């Protein structure tokens, strides 16, 4: 009676195995083409290539796509087939906001440091220490 749900679960798991396969490139290294050939191909298509590295058996390219957005793309090292393309503009706004906040914080600290100290040595907003 309890074997039926177990059997159904095993069948579903076996049927879904191809769906769970990863996106890694599995070509043998003997079939790989040089990175420089990929760079030349992409630049002829209008890419600006910053870096090409190997990641999970694929060539990972960082650069600017022909449409003008920053991108990270994965290519098959044997056929140069595009496996995945990810825009990097999406999270840049958050980075710019954080950078702007850090810069304004530094500016505030610098403006406070430039102010002269009062004659009695007590600065408002800072903790005081009593020495006995």
Number of domains the chain is built from = 1
Range of the domain at 88: 22-106
Task: Note whether residue 124 is domain-resident.
Answer: no
Task: Note whether residue 80 is domain-resident.
Answer: yes
CATH number, position 70 = 3.10.450
Task: Note whether residue 123 is domain-resident.
Answer: no
Residue with tokens 């191809």: 18
Residues whose CB is less than 8 angstroms from the CB of residue 84 and which lie 6 or more positions away in sequence, other chains included:
23, 73, 74
Residues whose CB is less than 8 angstroms from the CB of residue 27 and which lie 6 or more positions away in sequence, other chains included:
57, 76, 77, 78, 79
The CA-based angle 38-41-42, given to 5 degrees, is 85
pLDDT single digits (tens) 24-34: 889 999 999 99
Q: How far apart are CA 44 and CA 110, in angstroms?
A: 48
Kindly report the number of other CB atoms within 10 A of residue 59's CB atom. 23
pLDDT at 21: 47
Read off the pTM.
Answer: 0.53
Kindly report the number of other CB atoms within 10 A of residue 46's CB atom. 11
Task: Note whether residue 92 is domain-resident.
Answer: yes
Per the model's pLDDT, the better-predicted residue between 102 and 79 turns out to be 79
């Amino acid at each position: 009676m309890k074997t039926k749900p177990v059997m159904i679960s095993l069948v579903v798991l076996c049927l879904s195995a191809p769906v769970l396969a990863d996106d890694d490139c599995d070509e043998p290294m003997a079939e790989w083409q040089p990175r420089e050939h990929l760079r030349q191909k992409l630049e002829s298509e209008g890419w600006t290539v910053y870096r090409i590295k190997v990641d999970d058996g694929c060539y990972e390219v960082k650069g600017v796509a022909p449409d003008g957005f920053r991108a990270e793309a994965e290519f098959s090292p044997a056929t140069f087939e595009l496996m995945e393309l990810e825009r990097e503009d999406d999270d840049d706004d958050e980075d710019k906001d954080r950078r702007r906040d850090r810069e304004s914080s530094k500016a505030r600290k610098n403006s406070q440091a430039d102010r002269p100290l009062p004659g009695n040595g007590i600065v408002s907003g800072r903790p005081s220490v009593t020495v006995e």
